[in-house]
Amino acid sequence: MHHLETTLARLARPIFGRSWLRMVAYLGICSAYLQGGLNKLVDFPSAIGEMDHFGLSPAPLFAVVVIGLELTASAMILTGLLRWLGSLALAAFTLLATLLALRFWEMPVGMDRFMAANSFFEHLGLVGAFLLVAWLDLTAPAAGSSDQSR
């Protein structure tokens, strides 16, 4: 098995070692936050409605903070400027938002609870991905640089 693993890793490295593929991965993990932030920015009344829905007050202030966080932290990750900090910010935001919005354990058994539980754990996966990005950024040989090739 070890030989197969070594062979497969040797074949995969030239593809997965490319900086453009890492950028595609960063874009993938940030896509929901870019889309969400831009949608809230373009349709601010709906952003306020979303904050009201979750009981966040004052809703306009929370909407501005969420828009700023989603867009700024995503930009930090994509540009490499304090990537680790942007990743930790989105990890914390995602965890808090997930605990607020996807309280599946309070729902009656059924399809809605099933779907909310699936979404809850998918969001925990995103938290893990952001923690991994921060970890990789902080443990890279040139940690702290804004080199986009990492």
HEC string for 28-85: HHHHHHHHHHHHHHHCHHHHHHHHHHCCCCCHHHHHHHHHHHHHHHHHHHHHCCCHHH
Contact 100, 50 (CB under 8 A): no
Give the residue extent of every domain in the chain.
Answer: 22-139
pLDDT at 130 over 50: yes
Of how many residues is the chain composed?
A: 150
Dihedral of alpha carbons 62, 65, 69, 72, sign = positive
Which residue from 56, 28, 26, 24 is spatially nearest to 40, judged by alpha carbons? Answer: 56
- The pLDDT mean for the chain works out to 93
% of the chain exceeding 70 in pLDDT: 94
pLDDT at 150 over 70: no
Is a pLDDT exceeding 90 seen at residue 140? Answer: no
Which DSSP category does 103 fall into?
A: -
Where residue 16 falls among pLDDT bands split at 50, 70, 90?
confident
1 has a pLDDT exceeding 80 = no
Report, as an integer, the average pLDDT of 79-88: 98
Confidence check: pLDDT of 72 > 50: yes
Query: Is the model's pLDDT at 41 over the cut of 80?
Result: yes
- Give residue 142's pLDDT: 66
Residue 144 predicted with pLDDT over 50: no
| DSSP state letter for 142 | T
